[in-house]
Structure 1
Amino acid sequence: MDQRYNSLLPREQWSSSTDFIMSCIGYAIGLGNVWRFPYLCYQNGGGLLFRLSFTINFQHRADILGAFLIPYFISLIFCGAPLFILETTWGQLLSIGGLGMFKICPIFKGVGIAAAVMAFWLNIYYIVVLSWAMCYLWESFRLDSNVPWRHCNHKWNTPRCRSEYEPLTCHNNRTIAKYFNVQILTSDHLNEYRKKFFVGPLSNWTICSAEDLNVQSPVKEYWNYQVLGISSGIEEPGGLRWDLAFFLLIAWTICYLCIFKGVRWTGKVVYLTASFPYLMLICLLIRGLTLPGASLGLEFYLKPNFEKLLESKVWVDAVTQVFFSYGLGLGALVALGSYNSYHNNIYRQSLTICFVNSATSVFAGFVIFSFIGFMAVEQGKPVEEANIQTIYLNCEFN
């Protein structure tokens, strides 16, 4: 054997198989499960892939077979889970990371390099999204409910700011000439308008102009003008967002502290980092289920729209969701599997991780849709017309 390989130190290994499972769960579960999956369910018909034999207190019996989850689970069974098992098994077999595994076929070495480059760029923007989340988390620690994105009385708000939960304010006592070109109307038309607008129950109507309806949510204004500090154009680059830079520094520091001592240290830290999101989701679910309208959101989540299955976009979204949420093709799963012992039961552990990952996505859907139902009730709209941009902030992972 080449002396170069004899001189290498033996590769570290996980102290237990549980460390490997928790590390993979911590790696795979993230915004793709909690953020992107419920959003795709909302856009692509909702629904869960199982049958309920009992009656839910909605408006109909819930014999439900999901719409979006049909292509999602098909993609998972025939593509996501096999690739997940393949990558972790490959790493365990060769005890080598994503860059080195292509030594068995040097012609494909560029694939490993490309995966490493892609993982590098994903880390760059993903950590920025986490800094946004930390910014909102910090602003949420208040003794009252007056979070800065709830009202329009802040310095960054514009005159067009209006909450979706407040009634529309229009100007009263405007003349009919402001809304109709009375110069080209005949006397018969004017008499007809007088009957409609100035006589009977319609005499006190308030007419809203386009200017009155051109409003913007305080949530969106907080996001655009306070968090991001968006300027008017490319000619005004703006300044450094010191608060976001601070949270970004914290996020990178946490990443460093989680890995700087090797896999045995990471295998212990991940018990906290992988468990904390579940604690937060449970707390949010309890709160969401106690809000008025939560049942409407859950009904939309459970009720399928099978017409969506005929759209190719639904199937594309399902495949991309599986790849994104499982972190496939980046070499990270190969690296995590390479720290296992050679005789480890990687097949059973990989199936366990796949089950936990997808179950977390479904569970997060209950959390998010309970709040969407509440938002729909507060806005006086159906669930499918609720302004969920207040949750997703117009950010999609494509």
Structure 2
Amino acid sequence: MVRLVLPNPGLDDRIPSLQELETIEKEEASTRPKWDNKAQYMLTCVGFCVGLGNVWRFPYLCQSHGGGAFMIPFLILLVLEGIPLLYLEFAIGQRLRKGSVGVWSAVHPTLKGVGRPLPGHLGGVGSFDLKRLQLLQLIVPQQRIRRFVSLPLMCLIRSWARPGLAALSPPRLPTPSQAVYVTSTLPYLVLTIFLIRGLTLKGAAAGIAFLFTPNVTELANPVTWLDAGAQVFYSFSLAFGGLISFSSYNSVHNNCEMDSLIISVINGFTSVYAATVIYSIIGFRATQRYDDCFSTNILTLINAFDLPEGNVTQENFAEMQRWCNATDPAAYAQLTFQTCDMNSFLSEGVEGTGLAFIVFTEAITKMPVSQLWSVLFFLMLFCLGLSSMFGNMEGVVVPLQDLKLIPAKFPKELLTGLICLGPTSWAFIFTYAGSIPLVIIAFCESDTVPASASRFNKDIEFMIGHKPNIFWQVMWRVVSPLIMLVIFLFYFVVEVSKELTYSVWDPSYEEFPKSQQVGYPPWVYVVVVVVAGVPSLVIPCFAVYKFIRGRCRRPGDQQGLVSTQSTASVNGDLKY
């Protein structure tokens, strides 16, 4: 691969040598926070990586791309794209001991824009989870319905208040690092409970069989591979900045290679495990709808021909249809029967939040003690969003501290409060601000660090005891950048040719209660260009700025941006 090698003066001044690194770590032992133990660090990373996308986006993509056939490209790209980039972010954060902006500023002054974080869209999801929990009642009084409009706002405030208060809490209260013991493990407990319950329901086996039965023709569809590559980014939370910040608090000699492998295995397992749980419930829902459909057809036939109840069943329905048609063809011709197809009910997909808030909840309402299962399900979603928001906050706070953009006397309560107000609005903002910019940032990461292969290999050897093997070298230098380039080009072509639409529930729609796809107004296309383009343009803009500044620099001026270690605490005590 052809690489553009930029002049990099002052690199040794910005990055401490290997001999200095251990000395710096000892000097920072009393001032710079570290993880209390390895389990705390791993659970935090798992909570940040394993999120809502594993629970609802992955099952939906499996449903849309041939069931088990989607798992094949997903697992392949997880190995070729996800694990190498995760290892890369862990290694560079641990080596340089800075946040995302500080890391890339140290690598090269023109790369400061690569560390531009993309913080959380998950607060909005957490607010919906709280709203659903508040509305789980047998009877909702009319006066409370009038307050429905204000509920999402209040729940949004509360969903972001939790990680904000956790980051500000004094030592006697739970902090983010302590909260991960609950937020990262509770979803697995709830999923296991749902799996046990789901396997006892009628139709669960049909749903699981539908999930793992591959439609191999989907493997020839480029969109399947495109969605699989995008799902790897979402499920690993790559290029968000949080993983780099988390690894910067590790010991210099922590085995970041093993960490990346363990978290990757957990991530892939969680996606498949969550899909199995979801489809056991979806199989139950599809079976219920299949039985209801047949019951309606049976009732239609019984009423039309005045047949005794119990004489017509699902097993002899086709035979009874033929008998009725032979008995009175004119009367039979006037009857209208619904089409009852189990595969159609199983393949009815609802994207994104619809899978959680429509399909899954519809199945829960038909389960015994539905309120209990509803509370467990939305509590799980809330914990998944909460643990991811901790990482999003860390991805913003640490770069702000590294760059010294916040005055030393700036109240830390106000700082975290402003961060918790982050962008949690429209679906298209999440779709476009969290797609193209992420791929571009990750591409720059994979194409920049291994460019200095000799030095980077020595750094990793110093940290973990051996150099990266040939697999990592090939992935970082060739395969991962090439995959991301292909994903970017295909994604750009697909999205440019697609009309932007959103779903609405309109009673006047002829297929109501199905949602209707309505096109966005023209001005939204301008907004999409802005939200997708601004984060992407930060990288070249900073590069041009630093180039011009370097040309105009007076003799004696300092070259480089960040020379101090990050002091933003993972335990909620923000230092300046």
| Shared fold (TM-score, shorter chain, > 0.5) | yes
Cα root mean square deviation, aligned: 3.0
TM-superposition CA deviations, 1:10-42 (whole Å, max 9, x none): 421101111110100111111111111111111
Which moved further from structure 2: 257-266 or 99-108? Answer: 257-266
Cα drift, residue 72 of structure 1: 0.3
Cα drift, residue 138 of structure 1: 3.2
- Other-structure match for 1:244: 152
TM-superposition CA deviations, 1:131-159 (whole Å, max 9, x none): 1122223334x5xxx588xxxxx98xxxx
TM-superposition CA deviations, 1:203-224 (whole Å, max 9, x none): xxxxxxxxxxxxxxxxxxxxxx
CA, structure 1 residues 262+309, in 2 after alignment: closer, same or farther (shift >3 Å)? farther
Alignment of 1:120-135 (within 5 A): 123=120, 125-135=121-131
Cα drift, residue 375 of structure 1: 1.3
- Other-structure match for 1:39: 60
Number of residues of Structure 1 aligned to a counterpart in Structure 2: 280
- Other-structure match for 2:47: 26
TM-superposition CA deviations, 1:323-345 (whole Å, max 9, x none): 00100011111000001010111
Which AA in structure 2 matches 1:97? Answer: G
Q: Does 1:289 align with 2:199?
A: yes
- Other-structure match for 1:211: none
Which AA in structure 1 matches 2:156? Answer: L
Unaligned runs of 5+ in 2: 1-12, 15-23, 291-340, 359-426, 432-576
Question: What is the distance in 1 between the residues matched to 2:258 and 2:82?
Answer: 15
Cα drift, residue 248 of structure 1: 1.1
Which moved further from structure 2: 253-262 or 304-313? Answer: 253-262
Cα drift, residue 77 of structure 1: 0.5
Which AA in structure 2 matches 1:109? Answer: K
**Identity, % of aligned positions:** 36
Cα drift, residue 362 of structure 1: 0.7
Q: Decide whether the 8 Å contact of 1:91 with 1:97 is kept in 2.
A: yes
Alignment of 1:263-282 (within 5 A): 265-282=175-192
Q: Decide whether the 8 Å contact of 1:372 with 1:388 is kept in 2.
A: no
Unaligned runs of 5+ in 1: 48-66, 149-153, 156-225, 230-238
Name which of 104, 107, 124 aligns with 2:107.
Answer: 104
Question: What is the distance in 1 between the residues matched to 2:343 and 2:246?
Answer: 41
CA, structure 1 residues 277+16, in 2 after alignment: closer, same or farther (shift >3 Å)? same
Which AA in structure 2 matches 1:248? Answer: L
TM-superposition CA deviations, 1:87-110 (whole Å, max 9, x none): 011111111001100122111111
Q: Matched residue of 2:81: which SS?
A: helix
Question: What is the distance in 1 between the residues matched to 2:289 and 2:207?
Answer: 13
Instruction: Determine which structure has the larger helix proportion and give its number.
Output: 2
- Other-structure match for 1:327: 237
- Other-structure match for 1:92: 94
Alignment of 1:1-398 (within 5 A): 10-47=31-68, 67-102=69-104, 103-113=106-116, 116=117, 118-119=118-119, 123=120, 125-140=121-136, 142=137, 241-260=149-168, 265-380=175-290, 381-386=341-346, 387-389=348-350, 391-392=355-356, 398=431
Question: What is the distance in 1 between the residues matched to 2:73 and 2:81?
Answer: 11
Question: What is the distance in 1 between the residues matched to 2:169 and 2:243?
Answer: 19
Q: Decide whether the 8 Å contact of 2:46 with 2:184 is kept in 1.
A: yes
Question: What is the distance in 1 between the residues matched to 2:53 and 2:170?
Answer: 26
Which AA in structure 1 matches 2:107? Answer: I
Cα drift, residue 393 of structure 1: 5.6
CA, structure 1 residues 46+75, in 2 after alignment: closer, same or farther (shift >3 Å)? same
Which AA in structure 2 matches 1:337? Answer: S
Question: What is the distance in 1 between the residues matched to 2:108 and 2:266?
Answer: 33
Q: Decide whether the 8 Å contact of 1:98 with 1:334 is kept in 2.
A: yes
Q: Matched residue of 1:100: which SS?
A: helix
Higher RCO (CA < 8 A, seq sep 6+): 1
Which AA in structure 2 matches 1:333? Answer: L
- Other-structure match for 2:506: none
Cα drift, residue 385 of structure 1: 3.3
- Other-structure match for 1:236: none
Q: Decide whether the 8 Å contact of 1:100 with 1:112 is kept in 2.
A: yes
CA, structure 1 residues 262+10, in 2 after alignment: closer, same or farther (shift >3 Å)? farther
Q: Matched residue of 1:330: which SS?
A: coil
TM-score, length-scaled by structure 1: 0.64
Cα drift, residue 258 of structure 1: 3.0
Question: What is the distance in 2 between the residues matched to 1:283 and 1:257?
Answer: 30
CA, structure 1 residues 369+308, in 2 after alignment: closer, same or farther (shift >3 Å)? same
Q: Decide whether the 8 Å contact of 2:64 with 2:349 is kept in 1.
A: no
Q: Decide whether the 8 Å contact of 2:100 with 2:244 is kept in 1.
A: yes
Which moved further from structure 2: 279-288 or 93-102? Answer: 279-288
Cα drift, residue 383 of structure 1: 3.5
Cα drift, residue 262 of structure 1: 9.5
Question: What is the distance in 2 between the residues matched to 1:87 and 1:147?
Answer: 50
CA, structure 1 residues 331+108, in 2 after alignment: closer, same or farther (shift >3 Å)? same
Question: What is the distance in 2 between the residues matched to 1:132 and 1:331?
Answer: 25
Q: Decide whether the 8 Å contact of 1:41 with 1:68 is kept in 2.
A: yes
